[in-house]
Structure formats: C-alpha cells, structure tokens
A = this chain, B = another copy of it.
C-alpha cells in the first residue's frame, strides 16, 4: 500500500471529521490552501516537518496518519 495514498485519505478523513474546510485547515496548519489540496489529491510527496504541522493542526498523534483505514 502506498503511504502517500494512506496519508492523503487520513488527512481528508480527520479534517472533515473536525469540520474544517481545506482553506481553514491550511491556515490552522500554517500551510498554503493549494498545498493541502495537492496533498489530498496525492499530487505531492510531503516532508516530515509538514507532516507534523498537519498532525498538530488535526490534533492527533502523528503516527495515526500512516495507519491504513479500510
């Protein structure tokens, strides 16, 4: 299974669960809105520091973003 796919799905899942738009979430994470969009569309391989920023903004443990949900 591709980690980028798992990551993308999880970001989308947790983001919608807390009811944030891509835009609002991007701002909370300190990242760009088009970047979040690209991530969820699996268009980019993201770096670790931003992985942490995203996990922080989602208010979850970092490793959860890599656990495949089926």
Q: Which residues of A contact B (CB under 8 A)?
A: 2-4, 6-7, 45-49, 51-52, 55, 62-64, 66-67
Do B52 and A63 touch across chains, with their CB atoms under 8 A apart? Answer: no
* Chain B min CB distance to A60 (Å): 12
Assuming the contacts A63-B67, A66-B63, asked whether A45 and B45 have C-beta atoms less than 8 A apart, the reply is no
CA of A20 to CA of B4 in the docked complex: distance in angstroms? 27
10 A-B Cβ contacts within 8 A?
Answer: A2-B52, A3-B49, A3-B51, A4-B48, A4-B49, A6-B62, A7-B48, A45-B48, A46-B48, A63-B67
A49 / chain B contacts, CB cutoff of 8 Å: 3-4, 45
